[in-house]
Amino acid sequence: MMTRGDKKRRNFAAKRGLGYIPLNNRTSGNTGHHINNIHVIYMPDNIHKEKQHNQKTGYNMNEVNIKAFKYLFKHKENMKLPFNECKNIMKKNVNNFSKIL
């Protein structure tokens, strides 16, 4: 179910020309990272900030996406979509995904 906060985040993403389909639940201290134009993975803010990146240009996106998916699969209890669906999304959005699983 979409909470009011979710709707706010979806609207904010839409203003940036992005979709908002979270792959996991937001927990405190986590930041939403857009792995592509649509999908979001919530990950610890400090890990998200380790590497400057830009979703629009693709700058450092692969590195940050790898960190995001590692976090996602380490915390399966927070996943919102079935594991196989997350795995397929990962394969489409990460190079060298063998490092993750």
Binding-site ranges for Zn ion (CB under 5 A): 33
Please name the residue ranges forming H helices in 1-101.
4-15, 45-49, 61-74, 83-93
If the CB atoms of residues 4 and 75 are measured against Zn ion, the closer one turns out to be: 75
CB atoms within 10 A of CB 99: 10
Q: How far is the CB of 76 from Zn ion (least distance, A)?
A: 21
Shortest approach of Zn ion to residue 95 CB, angstroms?
17
* Beta carbon of residue 89, minimum distance to Zn ion (angstroms, whole number): 16
Pick the closer one to Zn ion by CB: 52 or 96.
Answer: 52
Cα 92 from Cα 14, distance rounded (Å): 22
In the DSSP assignment, the letter for residue 44 is E
CB nearer to Zn ion: pick between 33 and 39: 33
In whole angstroms, the minimum distance from the beta carbon of 42 to Zn ion comes to 11
How far out from the chain centre does Cα 64 lie?
9
Between 51 and 82, name the residue whose CB sits nearer to Zn ion. Answer: 51
- C-beta nearest to Zn ion: residue: 33
Q: Token match 């709707």: residue? A: 7
Question: Which residues make beta-bridge pairs with 42?
Answer: 32
